[in-house]
């Protein structure tokens, strides 16, 4: 879900604020536990579109994001974020894999990243850039299993470049390929389509990994009626009887 309205932020606060927000999100998604839910791919694509199309300002004129700022800035955010994740994993070490589940930490996401790393080795650092959820935890896993830092840095730099620069340029190129009259008329529709397509891997992953919990949640909500209250009252009565005995 792309809850960041890039166009509105550009028109109301200017490009500088957008650059700061994009840097913070890409940095967090690349190496912080809670960053796995950020919409990195869709934001990069949308930023590329706005670098080509720009935003019409209320006072007149047009303001575009600069590719010369976006590409190096978000490349640095991705690389530094992965480095933070790596050193966190290196500091904590193997006990990290025994950490209990919490609101912002799902052990199975970490285990999935480790399984992917065990299968693909060092190139996992690059491949994971294009895999939502996994990309947040892979650098942490690399640090926890003591991957050699120089080797990690090579794949980190390469992956950060092709992901940050590549996805931004994909959005920019999309803007160029669409005829101007179509782009002007259907710009919001195009942005929504880009966001939905870029988020599909994340939704597919979420459905595969969490579908049982989703069904359980739905059942719990549906059962919250007379039957659920009846079951609850009977359970409470049984507990009281046991305590009396």
Residue 101 has pLDDT above 70, yes or no: no
How far is 117 from 141, CA to CA, in rounded Å?
8
Average pLDDT in the 81-87 region? 91
* DSSP helix/strand/coil, 61: coil
pLDDT at 82 > cutoff 60: yes
Query: What is the per-residue pLDDT for 36?
Result: 65
| pLDDT band of 235, cuts 50, 70, 90 | very low
Q: Alpha-carbon distance 148 to 23, whole Å?
A: 27
- Using the Cα atoms of residue 208, residue 33, residue 110 and residue 131 in order, give the sign of their dihedral: positive
* Beta carbons within 8 Å of 216's beta carbon, 6+ residues apart: none
Q: What are phi and psi of 101, to 5 degrees?
A: -70, 145
Q: Is the pTM of this model over 0.95?
A: no
- The tokens of 73 are what? 């800035």
Question: Is the pLDDT at 13 greater than 70, yes or no?
Answer: yes
Given a cut of 80, is residue 160 above it in pLDDT? yes
Query: For 102-170, what is the HEC assignment?
Result: ECCECHHHHHHHHHHHHHHHHHHHHHHHHCCCHHHHHHHHHHHCCCCHHHHHHHHHHHHHHHHHHHHHH
The span from the CA of 109 to the CA of 134, in Å, is 7
Give yes or no for residue 23 having a pLDDT over 90. Answer: yes
Long-range contacts of 105-111 (CB under 8 A, 24+ apart): 105/33, 108/209, 109/36, 109/133, 109/134, 109/136, 109/137, 109/209, 110/137, 110/140, 110/141
pLDDT band with cut points at 50, 70 and 90 for residue 239? very low
Distance CA 47, CA 138 (A): 25
């Amino acid at each position: 879900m792309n809850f960041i309205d890039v166009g509105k932020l550009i028109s109301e606060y200017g490009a500088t604020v957008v650059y700061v927000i994009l840097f913070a999100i890409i940095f967090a998604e690349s190496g912080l536990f809670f960053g796995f839910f950020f919409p990195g791919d869709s934001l990069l694509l949308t930023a590329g579109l706005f670098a080509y199309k720009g935003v019409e300002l209320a006072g007149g004129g047009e303001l575009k994001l600069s590719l010369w700022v976006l590409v190096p800035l978000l490349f640095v955010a991705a690389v530094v974020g992965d480095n933070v994740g790596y050193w966190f994993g290196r500091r904590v070490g193997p006990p990290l894999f025994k950490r209990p589940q919490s609101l912002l930490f799902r052990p199975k996401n970490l285990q999935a990243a480790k399984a992917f790393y065990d299968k693909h080795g060092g190139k996992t650092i690059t491949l994971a850039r294009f895999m939502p959820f996994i990309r947040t935890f892979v650098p942490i896993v690399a640090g926890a299993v003591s991957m050699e830092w120089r080797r990690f840095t090579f794949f980190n730099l390469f992956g950060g470049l092709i992901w940050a620069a590549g996805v931004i340029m994909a959005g920019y190129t999309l803007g160029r390929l669409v005829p101007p009259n179509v782009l002007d008329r259907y710009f919001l529709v195009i942005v929504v389509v880009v966001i939905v397509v870029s988020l599909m891997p994340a939704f597919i992953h979420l459905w595969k990994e969490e579908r049982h919990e989703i069904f359980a949640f739905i059942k719990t909500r549906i059962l919250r009626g007379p039957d659920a209250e009846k079951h609850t009252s009977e359970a409470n009565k049984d507990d009281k009887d046991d305590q009396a005995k």
